[in-house]
Structure formats: C-alpha cells, structure tokens
Amino acid sequence: MSDIKVIEREELKEKPQGPIGFGQLFTDYMFTMDYNKEEGWHNAVIMPYQNIEISPAAQVLHYGQAVFEGMKAYRQGDDIILFRPDENFKRMNKSNARLNIPEVDGEFLLDALQQLVRLEQDWIPSGQGESLYIRPFVIATEPYLGVHAATEYKFMIILSPVGAYYGDDQLMATRIYVEDEYVRAVRGGVGFAKVAGNYAASLAAQTRASELGYHQVLWLDGVEQRYIEEVGSMNIFFVINGKVVTPELNGSILPGITRKSILQLAEYLGYEVEERRIAIEEILSSEYVSEIFGTGTAAVISPVGSIRYKDQEVVINDGVTGPVTQRLYDEYTAIQEGKKEDPFNWCLKIK
Ligand SMILES: Cc1ncc(COP(=O)(O)O)c(C=O)c1O
C-alpha cells in the first residue's frame, strides 16, 4: 500500500485535567483505510477524529460484521512503547478470517499505528496505572440488505487516554457473578474471535450481574455449563495449591494477550503454571483456591474478591488482593512502565 496521507486539524482539543476514567475521551486524530474488491485496502489516512458517514444499509448495521482489538501505549520516561502490538494484529486477522473479512497487513498497520501514536504522544498520560488505549476495528460498509460477506469495509484506529478500568483503584477486588442461564460462546462459534457480536450477546447477563451488585460475569462453557471459560472482558486465573491455573484454550475462549503474557511471566518467576479444564464446583468447594484474578489489556490484572454461583457466594482471600496476584501485577506493570527490564522483548519502542 502507498504512503499514509495526513490531514491536519486546525485546532487541537484541550487535554484532560484530573482523573481520566476509561474510554470516554478521544484524541485529536484517527487512522482510517478502506477496502473494496478492485483496490483491496487503500486510502490510508490519518485525519482529525470525527464522525464517519456510512449508509443506513451498511452491512455492519444489520448483520454485525465487525471485529476489533484493544492494546495500549505507555510512557517509559522519555520513550513511548507499544505492548506486544504484533499479537493484536495477528489476532485481528484470525477474527477477520472467521467473519470472512479480508486480511489486513499487520506490518503496514504497525507502521501506521506508530505514526499515529507519535503524532498523539502528548495524549499519553503518565500517572500511575495510566496509558493510551488503542482501538483498531473493522466494519462492513457495503450498502446491501442481502446476507453475504460484504465487499466493502472500513478499518479504523482510534485512541483514548485511560486510567484504571474499575474506578480509581487498579487493584480493587472485584465481585464476580457466575452466569448459569446464558452462555457466551459455543464450540465452532466465534468465541475465540474478537467480534462485536460476542459483546452484544453478553450484555443482558452483564446488566443483570451489575444490578445485583457484581462487577463482571464469569462465563461457563456452552455445552455443559460447568467448565469455566472467562470473564466479560478478561481471562481468568486461579491460584490452586500455589499453582497458577487458567482454563485451556478450547475455541470458545478469547486467547488473551495478557493471559499469554502472564503465563510466561509466572513461569519465569518460578510459579508452576497449568492450562486445563476447570469445573465451577472445583473452585467453589476447594479450600486450596487461595486467589482468583482476571487478566486483560483494559483492566491489566484484576483481583477477584468474591464469586457467586446460584445461591452460593464464596469469598476469596478475605476479599483482598492476594500475594501472587500482587506480585504478578507489580512485575507485569513494571515491565510495561519500563521500571524493570523486559526479558521477553514485549515492549516495542516507537521511533
Ligand atoms: C472476552 C475477553 N476475554 C479476554 C480478554 C483479554 O484479552 P487481552 O489480554 O488480549 O486484552 C478480553 C479483552 O480483550 C476480552 O474481551
């Protein structure tokens, strides 16, 4: 693809003062490119952040052909880094393939992303637990009311400076509701892909859980409704007999990049790690489950203080952050923030 055109804005927005929360502020610029059958991906532009115009018949609005990614840029002193961005573009192409969306060029997009983040570097916050959240996504824009794989798409990247995902305290212990009616994903479905429809399908359960006072839903498998899969926007880990255990990837769980990184880091730090099937009753009845935590780009590592399944509520580690969770959080964020060396080469410095 040819070079990226840059359209400058006349005036920059005011930068936020004080707490920035999560996902409501957007920077000055965005990246977009288009796809059609004749030209493939083309028209790559960095332009002022603005509304987009699509036809009311755009296929995404009717049949939900949409995928997205989430990653972060951090400040490390005077440097800016992207955390494992190649993994996100690889995962996006797996999601694209599942939804019959044309493949994107990960290398080209990595260059485009670096150019965009460089331009927007003043938006990267530097407070504790703060970063620049990066949201690449693809939508089907072809105006057509028949069901088929669209022939036109738009790819975009928007940026949002963010703080802690759950309120001010990054390590606030969350309360989790185990969903026993609805399921998130089934074998052969789209659970492993980061497709928009997965999140739409999760909202009724998420709303019910929040009305009952819980932060997140824990999903069980779609066949027996017995084996633990993941949380709304995080993978889930258990400390069982000192071992760091997480459900094995089975096609219906999203293969989280934080999950993959935490498995590597835990092993590096000397913990025994295990990926296997975990039945909900094992967690509820075992006196050996000492900690539970979620992992995801947005929330990083999020301790779970209690878990409810049907009428049973189990408090974990007295409802506070346990030592393994704390250590993994400290070590992981130290690598992201450049406070400790990065033995895995996860941080890509933006030139
Ligand atoms: C359903 C779901 N599971 C797990 C994750 C964690 O994935 P990652 O660590 O790549 O952010 C996310 C967030 O992207 C998610 O939406």
Are the C-beta atoms of 195 and 95 separated by less than 8 Å? yes
Which residue ranges have their beta carbon within 6 Å of ligand 1? 70, 230, 233-235, 254, 256-259, 295-297
Number of H helices, E strands in the chain: 7, 18
In this prediction, residue 285 carries a pLDDT of 86
Q: Which amino acid is at 112?
A: A
CA distance 228 to 94: 23
Report the predicted TM-score, pTM, of the whole model to 2 decimal places. Answer: 0.96
| pLDDT tens per residue across span 177-196 | 999 999 999 999 999 999 99
* 232 SS3 class: coil
- Ligand 1 pocket mutation pick from 252, 254, 257, 301 by most atoms within 8 angstroms of CB: 254
Give distance in angstroms: CA of 9 to centre of ligand 1.
33
| pLDDT tens per residue across span 244-284 | 999 999 999 999 999 999 999 999 999 999 999 999 999 99
* 32 SS3 class: strand
CA distance 166 to 12: 29
Domains along the sequence of the chain with CATH: 5-163 (3.30.470.10), 168-336 (3.20.10.10)
The tokens for 78 are: 């005077």
- E strand map for the chain: 5-6, 29-36, 40-48, 66-68, 71-76, 79-83, 131-140, 153-162, 174-178, 216-220, 228-231, 235-240, 243-247, 273-276, 289-296, 300-309, 312-315, 347-349
* 125 SS3 class: coil
In this prediction, residue 167 carries a pLDDT of 64
Whether the per-residue pLDDT at 127 is higher than 90: the answer is: no
Whose CA is closest to 66, among 152, 174, 194, 238?
194
Atom of ligand 1 nearest to the CA of 230: 3
Query: Tokens 């990054």 — which residue?
Result: 170
The tokens for 325 are: 């969770």
In this prediction, residue 114 carries a pLDDT of 97
